[in-house]
Structure 1
Amino acid sequence: MEPLYKASHFEKAIQNKWHVIVYQQEEVLDEGGIIERQTLKTVVIGGNHFIKENCQFFARSS
């Protein structure tokens, strides 16, 4: 799995439709899905807004 932490990482995941899993404090918050969009502070997956500063995002590219 590839960690996502820069805007360019999230953009690459959006373009390639990677499945993204969301963690908070080493616990799975969301089994994830494809990123719908990102803002400066949030990532939207499946209609849920995740704060970049509070979460860790990992992409499966295959």
Structure 2
Amino acid sequence: MIINTEQVEAVLMDKAVSGYLIEKETGISGASISRLRNGKKRFGDLSIDTAIKVQEWIDAGGVTN
């Protein structure tokens, strides 16, 4: 699997994509998404596991970006 970090970051930061939806579809905590979107957590500090979950969701057609 190739992780497109720009795509993953764009999805996570896109407030048009509900944090709740990302949480339910990927298992990533809503608090983690909120901290990222509010600038309290840097994208570069995300775990590889988180990036994989988002990329798998994107690849499965969970979100189009």
Which has the larger helix fraction?
Answer: 2
**Higher radius of gyration, 1 or 2:** 2
Which has the larger strand fraction?
Answer: 1
* TM-score, reference length from structure 1: 0.34
* TM-score, reference length from structure 2: 0.33
